[in-house]
Copies of this chain bind each other. A is one copy, B any other.
Amino acid sequence: MSASFIQSPAAEMMELLDELSAFSAPGDGVTRLLYTPEWKQAQQFLLNRVAESGLTAYSDSVGNVYGRLTGTGPDEKVVLTGSHIDTVVRGGKYDGAYGVAAAFTALRYLSSVYGSPLRTLEAVSFAEEEGSRFPLTFWGSGSVTGLYDGGEAENCKDAEGVTLQEAMESCSLSGEESAAPRNDIAAYVELHIEQGIVLERTGTQIGVVSAIAGQRRFAVSVKGTANHAGTTPMGLRRDALAAAAEMVLQLERSAAAAGDPLVATTGRLEAFPNTPNVIPGEVVFTLDIRHSKEDELEAFCAAAASAFEEIAKRRDVTVDITARLSASPAPMDSGLSAELEAICTRQGRTYRTMVSGAGHDAQLFAPRSRTAMIFVPSRAGISHSPEEYTPPEELAAGLDVLIALLYKLGYEEMNDNGFAPHNTKERWT
């Protein structure tokens, strides 16, 4: 049986989070890129810690690390919870790692208090989500959910030209292909910092995620005529930057008019030749547009493209809009969301239903398993930065909600949805 708790689950989770943050490349914040020595040490540390804790520790062919608490019921399907272990360059200690630390802590705690569950629970530390080393994202959860169809290991290279396969081999992984997709996941639950400012601004403890927004990315190229800034009268210009500026403002205005949860951003813009005394002849910029509903996302993008073309025509410049990424919205399971709301109410916590504008491992599970996400506030909405911070009591609140949902899913008897009360112990609220 598992080792007993000598401190509160929240304190144990904080300790684990601190320990994980020590596995980092030098520099500010936490930098733990896929298949680097610090990444390998972090996953090995988790494997050892999980094994000591009484959970069954194992890892798969891409290096996802699991802790399994085997159920005693007839259903062989698994309730999985976790997040990713990798970070961006100079990231914070909460993005991903919080969900990992909470998942392993929750299972150890449930096991120590309630013993074996009816349904098998697993905690997972996914190998990769951020896309910060190789030109691919969700290498961990994507491998589990069948996102990859082979060839990635051989073809993807990092900035130094190291292939994903070579990187895997350096971590004693087979390096051949992604893990085999799992068909035994009944539910996936992920706890994560919000990475936004909505919870903080509204003074809310818990975000119950209703959907992960779909996303479209586009590259826009505007071409006019580069000309002398002194000798070209205003009326004879084909200024690519002024045209791009009008498009950026048009995007902002129409996004504000569309209202939440639509967000639209130009994050990157470059002008050519980018010289003070030359009218820009070309500007390239990006669009990042997100919404939780596919049809509204699609309609917004189409309207933006039309507006851009109208601006280009009026200004006698050309515009080319190239799609770069298209991810469908991932609705969370409404039954699990309702359960999360009920748990918050029982626990006396403020909560709000919200769309996640950021992508998460959960979006890959949503089409195939019952999936839920829980958010806690991010101070000033900052993430992907050493400044990332959430106070311990807010992290603890998220852990409590996670434990309650896992109790519900793992220990209560099956109902029509495949889950229901298991009354051997006092119920976790």
Interface residues, chain A, with chain B CB atoms under 8 Å away: 194-198, 201, 213, 215, 217, 227-236, 239, 241-242, 244-246, 248-249, 252, 255-256, 260-271, 274-280, 286, 288, 290, 356-359, 381-384
Contacts and interface: CB of A to CB of B under 8 A. Distances in A.
A359 B230 contact: yes
B267 A279 contact: yes
A215 B236 contact: no
Contact of A242 (B249, B277, B383): B249
Nearest to A229: B265
Nearest to A378: B231
A286 B233 CA distance: 18
Contact of A249 (B245, B276, B280, B384): B245
A201 B237 CA distance: 12
Nearest to A383: B228
B269 A232 contact: no
B234 A262 contact: yes
Given A231-B195, A232-B263, A252-B234, A274 B279 contact: no
A395 B244 CA distance: 37
Nearest to A196: B231
A235 to B, nearest CB: 7
Q: Pick from A233, A274, A359 the residue with the most CB of B within 10 Å.
A: A233
Given A241-B266, A248-B242, A357 B275 contact: no
B194 A263 contact: no
B231 A358 contact: yes
A276 B286 contact: yes
A230 B384 CA distance: 13
Nearest to A264: B234
B256 A235 contact: yes
Contact of A357 (B230, B266, B290): B230
A231 B290 CA distance: 10
A290 B230 contact: yes
A81 B234 CA distance: 31
A322 B422 CA distance: 70
Contact of A196 (B228, B265, B276): B228
A246 B244 CA distance: 11
Given A198-B236, A231-B356, A358-B228, A267 B256 contact: no
Given A196-B227, A233-B263, A269-B280, 20 more contacts: A195-B228, A197-B232, A215-B230, A217-B276, A228-B383, A229-B263, A229-B267, A229-B288, A230-B357, A233-B261, A234-B255, A234-B256, A235-B256, A242-B252, A242-B266, A245-B245, A267-B275, A267-B276, A269-B271, A277-B288
A176 to B, nearest CB: 31
10 contacts: A198-B231, A229-B290, A230-B263, A230-B288, A230-B357, A235-B260, A236-B381, A242-B248, A266-B280, A267-B275
A397 to B, nearest CB: 19
Contacts of A232: 196-197, 263, 357, 381
Nearest to A380: B225
A227 B197 contact: yes
A321 to B, nearest CB: 14
A198 B230 contact: no
A154 to B, nearest CB: 27
